[in-house]
Amino acid sequence: MTETFAETWLRLREPYDHAARSAALAHRFLTVLPAAPRVLDLAAGAGSNARYLMSMGQGRADWVLADADRALLAAADLRTARMERRALDLARPAWPRTLARVDGVTAAAFADLVSAAWLARFARAVARRRLPVLVALSVDGRVAWTPQDPDDALVLRLFRRDQARDKGFGPALGAAAPWRLAADLRARGYQVHMRRSDWRIGSKDRVMLGRMIDGFAAAAADAALFESRDAVAGWSDRRRAQAAAGQLRLVIGHRDCLALPPSGSPASRSPPLNSP
């Protein structure tokens, strides 16, 4: 079954996503594309990834926004006519047909939802067409609350169990996704570049902090045995009080991954990537 995401959640996270991303990797992805490229954004939701890439100066692209959720696609606004909304279930084996006639593939906040088998098929499909790939904002497992709490480790352990739930693609990779993606693409001859793209949620970001506390607590409670539920509830109460007092901060680790196809294809004939 497809995991659903509320548009309000995608809008709330968008500024954190955009602030976190590696501009160097995004820029390099855009520079290896042809002058007026057709770019496929997988699991595009309401278009946040394309909005970010357009803000990096790619105004001449034709965007194909693909997602299973028609309501999210309908809400996508790129302020350009050069956008196609494509309702597409990426869990179906035929989805790679969408790669025909595109010059590059991107996705954001998606790789951690899929399984190892799905990523292997993805790598095979993009490599067959030698497409440049930019996969942004995959969680990498780092979660740092400030101040620390004695039950952080318990909540995180339970949260990770929930993260591995099948989201429609088989057992979800969660924090293993960035490394798996990089390994699969390297095995196909790609040159892979990874950068950190961490969410930094400050003490004034009360709405986002509240969302994160509720999200961690709900997922942890679902995965908890009966006796751990009180500990999770206590953790949530303490974290809410700290957030209300402006005393809580949070960093969530993510990785951006740029993969350039093997030499011989246009995308590989560009200068080396500088450090961000």
Ligand X SMILES: C[S@@+](CC[C@H](N)C(=O)[O-])C[C@H]1O[C@@H](n2cnc3c(N)ncnc32)[C@H](O)[C@@H]1O
Smallest distance, Å, CB 203 to ligand X? 25
Site string for ligand X, 111-130 (x = CB under 6 A): --x-----------------
Binding to ligand X in span 24-63, by CB under 6 A: 43-45, 48-49
* Among the listed residues 20, 64, 83, 90, the single contact to ligand X using CB under 6 A: 90
Torsion of CA 196, 202, 208, 211, to 10 degrees: 90
* Among the listed residues 39, 65, 76, 108, the single contact to ligand X using CB under 6 A: 108
Smallest distance, Å, CB 60 to ligand X? 21
Binding to ligand X in span 171-230, by CB under 6 A: none
| Strand segments (E) across the chain | 38-42, 62-67, 83-87, 104-108, 133-146, 191-196, 199-201, 249-260
* Among the listed residues 39, 53, 76, 109, the single contact to ligand X using CB under 6 A: 109
The C-alpha atoms of residue 107 and residue 24 are separated, in whole angstroms, by: 16
DSSP string, 65-104: EEES-HHHHHH---SSS-EEEEE--TTSTTGGGGGTT-SE
Smallest distance, Å, CB 139 to ligand X? 10
Residue 77 or residue 89: which is nearer to ligand X going by CB?
A: 89
Binding to ligand X in span 156-175, by CB under 6 A: 168
Residue 236 CB neighbour total at 10 angstroms: 19
DSSP class of residue 266 equals G
At how many degrees (to 10) do helices 177-187 and 116-128 cross?
40
* Among the listed residues 89, 166, 214, 230, the single contact to ligand X using CB under 6 A: 89
The C-alpha atoms of residue 28 and residue 25 are separated, in whole angstroms, by: 5
How many residues touch ligand X under the rule CB under 6 A: the total is 23
- Does position 242 interact with ligand X (CB under 6 A)? The reply is no
Smallest distance, Å, CB 195 to ligand X? 17
* Among the listed residues 3, 62, 149, 222, the single contact to ligand X using CB under 6 A: 3
Task: Tell me what percent of the chain is helix, strand and coil, each rounded to the nearest 5.
Answer: 45, 20, 35
Largest CA distance in the chain: 59
Angle ∠(13,45,178) on CA atoms, nearest 5:
70
Smallest distance, Å, CB 69 to ligand X? 4
Residue 135 or residue 220: which is nearer to ligand X going by CB?
A: 135
| Interacting residues with ligand X (CB under 6 A) | 2-3, 5, 10, 17, 43-45, 48-49, 67-69, 72, 88-91, 108-110, 113, 168
